[in-house]
């Protein structure tokens, strides 16, 4: 068997087992980066970029977790959650860094998360899906990431600028008098 085909499930299973530990460490680094950014000190942005990107990659690779005796629909929902987490986190990163393109990601990422969350809760209530695949931590993670992304999307930008969460965006105008 090809080494690449073996790497995906092994990496996905390892990440899923160690995701909580990695999240705690990465969230501490993100908080440190945000504090440095709010205080307008150097390297705050760099810490945010590295830590949020790492978290997004971890969420993306967790989609390759292998489940024993899982139905195809359960696998699909698990992958949908992982991809939605990743897109939402990158959208939050784009917003915090002041990069263009955060609006579509803050809409595209949370919408499948909310749909999957509702479907999972309904199917869990009817005992149609296994509790081991969608444990409490996945559901809480889904709710927190989706609500954070949606909140940041609809939050007034003036308030985010006031608290130095995002930088004031320069207005780009064309100089028509330039030759």
| Rounded-to-integer distance, Cα 43 and Cα 48, Å | 9
Residue with tokens 């992958």: 79
Residue 68 has a CB neighbour count (10 Å cut-off) of: 7
Collect all residues with Cβ–Cβ distance below 8 Å to 92 and sequence separation of at least 6. Answer: 52, 102, 106, 148, 149, 152
Q: Is-above-0.85 flag for pTM?
A: no
| Arithmetic mean of pLDDT, 83-109 | 92
| Model pLDDT for residues 31-66, shown as the tens digit of each residue | 999 899 888 888 888 999 999 999 999 999 888 887
- The band of 161, judged by pLDDT with boundaries at 50, 70 and 90, is confident
Minimum mean pLDDT range among 31-35, 63-67, 113-117, 133-137 = 63-67
pLDDT by residue (tens digit) across 143-155?
A: 999 999 999 999 9
- Domain ranges in the chain are 3-162
Confidence at residue 6, expressed as pLDDT on a 0 to 100 scale: 55
pLDDT of residue 144: 95
How far is Cα 166 from Cα 29, in angstroms, rounded to an integer?
A: 17
Q: What is the rounded CA–CA span in Å between residue 41 and residue 29? A: 15
Q: What is the pLDDT of residue 169?
A: 61
pLDDT of residue 64: 81
Angle made by CA atoms 135, 125, 144, in degrees to the nearest 5:
45
């Amino acid at each position: 068997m090809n080494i690449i085909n073996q790497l995906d499930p092994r990496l996905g299973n390892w990440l899923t087992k160690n995701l909580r530990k990695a999240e705690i460490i990465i969230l501490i680094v993100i908080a440190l980066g945000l504090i440095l950014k709010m205080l307008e000190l150097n390297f705050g942005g760099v810490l945010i970029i590295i830590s949020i990107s790492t978290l997004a990659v971890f969420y993306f690779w967790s989609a390759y977790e292998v489940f024993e005796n899982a139905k195809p629909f359960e696998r699909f929902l698990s992958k949908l959650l992982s991809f939605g987490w990743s897109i939402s986190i990158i959208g939050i990163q784009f917003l915090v860094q002041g990069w263009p393109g955060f609006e579509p990601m803050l809409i595209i990422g949370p919408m499948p998360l909310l749909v999957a969350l509702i479907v999972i809760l309904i199917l869990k209530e009817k005992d149609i899906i296994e509790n081991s695949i969608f444990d409490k931590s996945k559901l809480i993670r889904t709710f927190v990431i989706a609500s954070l992304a949606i909140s940041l999307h609809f939050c007034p930008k003036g308030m985010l600028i006031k608290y130095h969460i995002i930088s004031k965006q320069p207005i780009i105008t064309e100089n028509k008098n330039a030759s």
